[in-house]
């Protein structure tokens, strides 16, 4: 019996993915373990392996298709001895389904796709006939499937778009015009789109924003999946998480001296390059990890049923990418040496920029560090990354005038700000955590004893 191959869940939170590339074509034979496709999530591009043996009878979702829901049928496999043409002709109706394996990522063991009694067909096989889509004001709007997808991605209310297709049908070119504010009906014709903003006030819809700018005075750059995910997660975090902030100054005098000595003593590899080169951020990661161990009540995650108190300090480190932001995680950072943290961080950052991280390398974590010191930022506040309950924002180390023993002297000072989820961490507890961090960062010898 033909086997339906479904869009796999490559992480516990994945709902949709982009089918970036097929590595097999129709008629190719595959066996279990063969890499058949590349799936792009919001954070990484991952190879997908076949579960069963057989011949690819029909590819239903072409490469380059975006936002394919988990469990949608992406291809049909004809088993051994089956008629490939017959299997392809009945594509999408086979009673046996298989989800491709995710690529050697521990996180996928926990990524159980939601059960589906009848998987919906993939985008590539949805009916192409005109369909009436419900608009935000309850009206029915006739539009093409492509126009509906483009409107959804751009946040445009279909009921406000003037259709230029047969019988007033909205087509793709109408959405392109609407992005620039042209071809739109008056705002009164539809309900406001875009949800609510601060203090519950309605947020401006895309057409309302576009109407404020002259056509041709800007470039419209569509959001990719990473940017949309960042927007959704951080908006949810700021709206649902009561957050307070604690700022403290740290003297980097002893740390700077220790860093110079340690880097000078580093051995060389076979190519004559240092085995490691510690940065201030490596010390920050280690100090935060140890501080969470000293104040275990702050090493927690909030759930509605219980508080999760973590045994280890898994520290996420914010890495800026041209297309967004990602926080690869140093697992059990409290147990690792500074040189191990340094080398692991360099590897994670390099692979993050190539979108080669596995889900378990950037999901979870117990706290995070965001460092903008290299940009000369003195201090700032960072948004907590759920389900974590804290994040440390690190500013630049700079010379400032301080008073010691009644004398004004110059010292290298670094300001850090701790963001705390008040549901899990109270003010006094947060103060204990950031104070523990200060003691460690100002006395780095305490990190190695």
Q: Is 312 among the residues known to form the active site?
A: no
Instruction: Give the chain's end-to-end CA distance (angstroms, integer).
Output: 63
Q: How far apart are CA 172 and CA 182, in angstroms?
A: 14
Strand partners, 282: none
Q: How far apart are CA 185 and CA 130, in angstroms?
A: 21
Q: How many CA atoms lie within 13 A of 182 on its CB side?
A: 9
**C-alpha gyration radius of the chain:** 27
Q: How many CA atoms lie within 13 A of 232 on its CB side?
A: 9
The total of other beta-carbon atoms located within 10 Å of residue 63's CB is 13
Task: Check: CB of residue 413 under 8 Å from CB of residue 397.
Answer: yes
- Residue 71's nearest CA partner among 107, 109, 120 is 120
Q: Cα angle vertex 236, ends 231, 238, to 5°?
A: 95
The total of other beta-carbon atoms located within 10 Å of residue 51's CB is 20
Alpha helices in 267-337, H assignment, sequence order: 280-294
Q: How far apart are CA 245 and CA 384, in angstroms?
A: 11
Strand partners, 414: 250, 397
Q: How far apart are CA 249 and CA 213, in angstroms?
A: 43
- Residue 193's nearest CA partner among 174, 180, 169, 209 is 209
- Indicate which residue of 167, 310, 312, 422 is catalytic: 422
The secondary structure of residue 15, as a DSSP letter, is: -
Q: How far apart are CA 170 and CA 145, in angstroms?
A: 10
Q: How far apart are CA 232 and CA 228, in angstroms?
A: 6
Q: Cα angle vertex 403, ends 399, 406, to 5°?
A: 150
Task: Check: CB of residue 313 under 8 Å from CB of residue 290.
Answer: yes
Positions annotated as catalytic residues are 422
């Amino acid at each position: 019996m033909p086997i339906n191959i479904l869009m796999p869940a490559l992480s516990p939170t994945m709902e949709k993915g982009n089918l970036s590339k097929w590595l097999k074509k129709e008629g190719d034979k595959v066996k279990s373990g063969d890499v058949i496709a590349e799936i792009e999530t919001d954070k990484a591009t991952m190879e997908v392996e076949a579960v069963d043996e057989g011949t690819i009878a029909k590819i239903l979702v072409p490469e380059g298709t975006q936002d394919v829901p988990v469990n949608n049928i992406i291809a049909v496999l004809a088993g051994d001895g089956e008629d490939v043409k017959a299997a392809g002709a009945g594509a999408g109706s086979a009673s046996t389904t298989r989800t491709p394996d995710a690529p050697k990522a521990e996180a996928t063991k926990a990524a159980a796709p939601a059960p589906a009694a009848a998987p919906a067909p993939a985008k590539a096989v949805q009916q192409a006939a005109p369909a009436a889509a419900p608009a935000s004001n309850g009206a029915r709007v006739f539009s093409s499937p492509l126009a509906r997808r483009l409107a959804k991605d751009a946040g445009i209310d279909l009921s406000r778009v003037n259709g230029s297709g047969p019988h007033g049908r909205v087509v793709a070119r109408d959405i392109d015009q609407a992005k620039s504010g042209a071809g739109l009906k008056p705002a009164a014709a539809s309900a406001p789109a875009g949800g609510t903003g601060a203090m519950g006030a309605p947020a401006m819809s895309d057409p309302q924003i576009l109407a404020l700018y002259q056509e041709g005075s800007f470039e419209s750059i569509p959001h990719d999946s990473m940017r949309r995910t960042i927007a959704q997660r951080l908006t949810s975090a700021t709206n649902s998480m009561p957050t307070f902030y604690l700022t403290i100054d740290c003297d980097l005098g002893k740390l700077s001296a220790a860093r110079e000595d340690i880097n000078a003593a580093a051995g060389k590899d076979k190519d004559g390059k240092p085995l490691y080169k510690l940065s201030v951020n490596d010390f920050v990661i280690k100090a935060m990890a140890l501080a969470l161990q000293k104040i275990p009540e702050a090493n927690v995650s909030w759930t509605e049923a219980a508080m999760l108190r973590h045994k280890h300090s898994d520290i996420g480190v914010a890495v800026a990418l041209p297309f967004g932001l990602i926080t690869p995680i140093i697992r059990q950072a409290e147990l690792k040496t500074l040189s191990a943290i340094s080398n692991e961080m360099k590897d994670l950052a390099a692979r993050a920029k190539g979108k080669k991280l596995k889900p378990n390398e950037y999901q979870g974590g117990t706290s995070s560090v965001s460092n903008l010191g290299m940009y000369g930022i003195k201090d700032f506040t960072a948004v907590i990354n759920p389900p974590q309950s804290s994040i440390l924002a690190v500013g630049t180390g700079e010379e400032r005038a301080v008073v010691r023993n009644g004398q004004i002297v110059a010292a290298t000072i670094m300001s850090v700000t701790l963001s705390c989820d008040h549901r899990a961490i109270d003010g006094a507890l947060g103060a204990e955590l950031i104070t523990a961090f200060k003691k460690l960062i100002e006395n780095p010898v305490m990190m190695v004893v």
